[in-house]
Structure 1
Amino acid sequence: MPETLDPEIASRLKRDDQGLVAAIVQQHDTGEVLMLGWMDDEALRRTLTTGRVTFWSRSRGEYWRKGDTSGHRQYVQSVAIDCDGDALLVQVDQVGAACHTGARTCFLEGGPLPAVAGARENGAQR
């Protein structure tokens, strides 16, 4: 297992001022968006090389591998980087709840916000 993130991958990342990139976690077979976490180069290296998702905890200031204490593990199925390099999409096989509250997803627990639904104009392309 490599000890550092592949330099080619690292060069594509656009990190925030704390050296982090947003990682959107999605259930691989249903498309369900489960949570958002943060990764630095080391967390991404661990995620890419171990088959389990690792994040950087901004509140605790340490790495955490999803499920080590809760048993609600995330098994990596694929990882993609967006066109700007500032976000990752991690598709997983989620075991149990993804949210620390015990909910299946963090977005069900947070709930919907009032938003006006838009509609395409006639002839608009996808």
Structure 2
Amino acid sequence: MSAYPPPLSGSAQDETAELRPRFDAAGLIAAIAQDAETGDVLMLAWMNEAALAQTIATGRATYWSRSRGSLWVKGESSGHTQEVVEVRVDCDQDAVLLKVRQTGGACHTERTSCFYRRVEADGRGLSFPGEAG
């Protein structure tokens, strides 16, 4: 049995005051982690129903690992935790925004954010703004 009621149709989903997440065919929803103080986007990961419910219940960002096929709590092994300050959903509830207090780097590369490269104007190259070298 689902922890959440099913999504509504059309504009009813956009205006409901109930949490009715719209998971995709694989049972996942995109989750963006944003620094609660700076507004910087830190990372994108995926949640299934259990990950979303656990995140809300514990206040610790919990995601679904598509490669391992299991839940993972951010920082469980690295110590780079995400304390959830606020959970938001977009208009049709098919994406989640977590406003977090990040301890350590959010990226597995040890960088503050996973979004550390910029696509160059030619559409082919990448640059690393803010990094020496």
TM-score by length of 1: 0.81
For residue 101 of structure 1, report the CA deviation from its aligned partner: 1.1
* Distance (Å, rounded) in 2 between the aligned partners of 1:76 and 1:20: 19
CA RMSD for the aligned pairs? 1.5
- For 1:19 and 1:42, how far apart are their aligned partners in 2? 10
SS of 2:33's equivalent in the other structure is: strand
Equivalent residue letter for 1:114: E
Structure 1 residue aligned with 2:77 = 69
Checking the alignment, whether the CA contact within 8 Å between 1:22 and 1:86 is kept in structure 2 is: yes
**Where does residue 46 of structure 1 map in the other structure?**
54
Query: Which residue pairs with 1:113 in the alignment?
Result: 119
Task: Give matches, 1:1-126, under 5 Å.
Answer: 5-7=3-5, 8-9=18-19, 12-108=20-116, 111-115=117-121
| One-letter identity of the residue aligned with 2:120 | P
Instruction: Specify the code of the residue in structure 2 equivalent to 1:49.
Output: A
For 1:76 and 1:21, the matched residues in 2 are separated by 17
Q: Is the CA contact (8 Å cut-off) linking 1:43 and 1:55 kept in structure 2?
A: yes
3-state DSSP of counterpart to 1:48: helix
Rounded Cα–Cα distance in structure 2 between residues aligned with 1:40 and 1:17: 11
Q: Between Structure 1 and Structure 2, which shows a larger proportion of helix residues?
A: 1
Deviation at 1:114, TM superposition (A): 2.7
**Structure 1 gap segments, 5+ residues each:** 117-126
4+ residue runs of structure 1 moved beyond 6 angstroms? none
Does the 8 A contact of 1:80 with 1:89 survive in 2? yes
The alignment of Structure 1 onto Structure 2 pairs a total of residues equal to 109
CA contact 2:4–2:21 (8 Å) conserved in 1: no
TM-score by length of 2: 0.77
- Report the CA distance between 1:16 and its aligned residue: 1.5
Give 3-state SS (helix, strand or coil) of 1:45's partner: helix
Query: Percent of aligned pairs with the same residue?
Result: 51
